[in-house]
Structure 1
Amino acid sequence: MYTIILKTLMNAPIGQCFDLSRDIDLHVQSMKASGEKAIAGKINGLIKLHESVTWRAKHFGLYFEMTNKITAMDYPNSFTDEMMRGPFNKLHHQHLFKTIGTQTEMTDIFEFKAPLGILGWLAEKLFLTRYMKRLLVERNEVMKREAEGDKRRA
């Protein structure tokens, strides 16, 4: 299993950053390259505790579906989503928020385990961890631009 820890600083209030992080529509916008769409469950707006969303996206030339559920939430400090069904043996993503002066620090703790035993482990090591981190960075860049560009959403 691999863990990616990513910190993103945003010039926006903590509540705004928290809400942008659970905004289905913004997530879809940030994943345009993979054509990711919400196809079942909560398919737009802000996802809440105990709600789930099923995503469909194309990665590595293949279509994947994955259902994630919000399993914990402490507004505006943290929430956790976990894969209930999908391509990984495990996917657990903690979103942590902290105010630092006038900024919000968002920390992603993203844990995942690929299927297929030793082949999955090899994929994690050779390319999957780097690929997943790039997806998180791209998502956070879109969120940061949105947070810092529209102060009316505070």
Structure 2
Amino acid sequence: MRCFETVTHIAAPPATVFDLSLDVDLHTASMAESGERIVGGVRAGRMALGDTVTWEARHFGVRWRMTSRISAYERPGTFVDEQVSGPFERWHHTHHFAPDGRGGTVMRDVVEFAAPFGLLGTAVEAVALGRYMHELIDARNVHVRQQAEASA
């Protein structure tokens, strides 16, 4: 299993960043390069505790589907999305939002994931998947920051 953390500073209040981070339309736009689209569950707007969404996207030249659920939700401080079904043995993404003391937000993502297929999956995690997932989260966070700062 891999775990990584990323921190993004955003010049917008935590509640704004929290809400945008739960918006499936914003998420889809941030993942346009992989052709990500919604194929089930919440199809528009902001997700809430217990909501699920099924995403379909192309990564590594393969089309994948993943259903995730919002399993924890404490606005405006934190929420968790976890894989219900999909390509990972485990996917657990905790989103933290804290005031930065200047009217902005420190957004911290903690992602834990494990690839399937035992030792082969562990090797793929080490060689490519860890870096790839970190880059995806970073790209998504750039999009969240741009949208939050434009609306602040």
Cα deviation, 1:87-110, whole Å, max 9, x if unaligned, reads 000000000110011210010000
Which residue is equivalent to 1:134?
Answer: 135
CA distance in 1, matches of 2:47, 2:115: 25
* Structure 1 residue 134 displacement after superposition: 0.4
CA distances 1:28-78 after superposition (whole Å, capped 9, x unpaired): 000000000111000110000001000000001110000000001001000
SS in structure 2 opposite 1:5? strand
Q: Which runs of 5+ in 2 are unaligned?
A: none
Q: 1:125 & 1:110 partners in 2: Cα distance?
A: 15
Runs of 4+ deviating beyond 2 Å? none
Structural mapping, 1:18-57, within 5 Å: 18-57=18-57
For normalisation by structure 2, the TM-score amounts to: 0.98
For residues 150 and 27 of structure 1, what CA distance do their matches in structure 2 show?
A: 16
What are the equivalent positions in structure 2 for 1:62-81 lying under 5 Å apart?
62-81=62-81
Whole-angstrom CA distance in 1 between matches of 2:44 and 2:85: 19
Map 1:4-23 to 2 at 5 A. Answer: 4-23=4-23
Q: Which residue of 2 aligns with 1:58?
A: 58
In 2, distance between residues paired with 1:70 and 1:29? 19
Distance 2:150 2:49 in 1: 27
Aligned to 1:99: 99
- How many residue pairs get aligned? The number is 151
Runs of at least 5 residues in structure 1 that lack an aligned partner in the other structure? none
**Aligned partner of residue 33 in structure 2, secondary structure:** helix
Q: CA RMSD in A?
A: 0.5
Distance of 1:99 and 1:17 partners within structure 2: 11
* Corresponding residue number in structure 2 for 1:143: 144
